[in-house]
Structure 1
Amino acid sequence: MPMVDLQHGRAVAGIVVDLQQRLAAKVGRMAEFLVMPRLRVQQAMENDEIDVRCYVSPNWLNSVHARYIWSLPFMTQRDLLVGADSEALQPEQLRNHRLGTVLGFTYPRLQPLFDSSQIQREDARTQDQVLLKLSAGRYQYAISNELSLNWFNRHQPPAQQLHALSEVSSEPVACIIRDAPDVPTKALLRAMVQMKQDGEFEAILARYR
């Protein structure tokens, strides 16, 4: 959360769920959510198992199958360097620290620091787990997107809230839609444009801030 709430292996709530349910309704379809390991998603796309994938940026993918078309962005994701203290700090200033990161996520700005062993990655399966480990003192710093940090802090007492120290990257986030006869691709792309014009993206995001 706030991107998706998984209960017993099912996606039941969150920004991505709300967005895709609303998008499906606009084209007269029902959204069926597939929950799978992050590293298997690319294979599923190559096998045409996924019609719509939201919450993705071109810079996060190694490749995109030619049969998929990008929608317009529905939000901008800001990735932040986060710590328990509030003193401003850039990742390049860190030396010999373990940095909380999400398994399978790429961080282009930080990769040279990882490659040179200036910083050590410590992966967790989810963004929430990264923040929980930071709060528990398992490491001093972590990378988190802004929405997840705000969601985490709203459930913490003021003295235990985590702080954004600097912005690491900022990426437009969109959906990719399979371009095939059995998918209403053009209708979905038009629906995304209409949702943006009507303020529906901002309304969904506002529920989880």
Structure 2
Amino acid sequence: MPVAEFKENRLVGGIIHDLIERLSQRLDVPAQIQVLPRNRVELALKQGEIDVRCYISPKWIANSEEYLWSVPFIQQRDLIVARSASEQLSSPDKLSGQSIGTVLGYTYPRLQQLFDHGDLRRDEARNQELVLQKLLAGRYQYAVSNELALEWFNRDLPNTDHLVNAGILEEEPVSCLVRNDPALPAQRILRTLLQMKESGEIEEILARYR
């Protein structure tokens, strides 16, 4: 959360859920939401098993030529997160020699060279919330988190326990991709997403989780 909430392997809430539900209502077409393991998603895209995927950037996936991209609807900001405001970082290079909390299977382009050279070690957890819980418990000094997840995590903590932004790692606009297939109303889907963006509907959804 707040990007996605799962129960018993079903998507039941969060930004992606609400966005797809609203898009489905606008199109008057029922949505069939698939929940796949992260390492299965790229293969499903390649095999044409996914019609629409939201909250994604072209930089995060390979082989997306068969898909069209919607207008970006939010700026994803990845942060280096710490337990104290005194642990600000002027550069990711200052992390050299440490372990950092990361999500299993996620890529972090700004840090990849440090990982490749062994200058920085990944301490991985299954999801973003677990990464932040381990940081709060002192398992490591720094972790990577997107800004929305950090704000959501801090909501139920006393102010004295809030995790803090120690430095912006990178920013990337995120969109929805739509399979470019004559059997699909791809242009209609893209137009509808644009209308939702321009009308403020998407911002309405995002505001629920801020």
- Is TM-score (shorter-chain normalized) higher than 0.5? yes
Which runs of 5 or more residues in structure 2 are unaligned? none
Q: What's the offset of the Cα at 1:95?
A: 2.8
Moved over 2 A (4+): none
Matched with 2:114 is 113
Residues 154-177 of structure 1: CA distance to partner in whole angstroms, max 9, x if unpaired? 011112110001100000000000
Relative to its length, the structure with more helix (as a share) is 2
Matched with 1:80 is 79
C-alpha distance in 2 between matches for 1:55 and 1:38: 14
SS at match of 1:110: helix
Matched with 2:16 is 16
C-alpha distance in 1 between matches for 2:15 and 2:83: 26
Matched with 1:2 is 2
Establish whether residue 164 from structure 1 lines up as the match of residue 160 from structure 2: no
Matched with 2:185 is 184
User: Greater shift after overlay, 122-131 or 139-148?
Assistant: 122-131
Q: What's the offset of the Cα at 1:94?
A: 1.7
C-alpha distance in 2 between matches for 1:39 and 1:122: 19
Matched with 1:56 is 56
User: Greater shift after overlay, 72-81 or 105-114?
Assistant: 105-114
Counterpart of 2:3, as a letter, is M
Q: What's the offset of the Cα at 1:184?
A: 1.7
Q: What's the offset of the Cα at 1:122?
A: 1.1
User: Greater shift after overlay, 17-26 or 177-186?
Assistant: 177-186
Q: What's the % identity of the aligned pairs?
A: 49
C-alpha distance in 1 between matches for 2:145 and 2:139: 15
Q: What's the offset of the Cα at 1:182?
A: 3.0
Does the 8 A contact of 1:27 with 1:184 survive in 2?
A: no
TM-score, normalised by the number of residues in structure 2: 0.96
Which runs of 5 or more residues in structure 1 are unaligned? none
Establish whether residue 194 from structure 1 lines up as the match of residue 210 from structure 2: no
SS at match of 1:159: helix
Residues 77-124 of structure 1: CA distance to partner in whole angstroms, max 9, x if unpaired? 000000001132132112321100111111111111111222111111
Residues 19-65 of structure 1: CA distance to partner in whole angstroms, max 9, x if unpaired? 1111111111111211111110011111211110001001111221x
Paired residues in the alignment total: 208
C-alpha distance in 2 between matches for 1:151 and 1:63: 32
C-alpha distance in 2 between matches for 1:125 and 1:180: 34
SS at match of 1:105: coil
Counterpart of 1:17, as a letter, is H
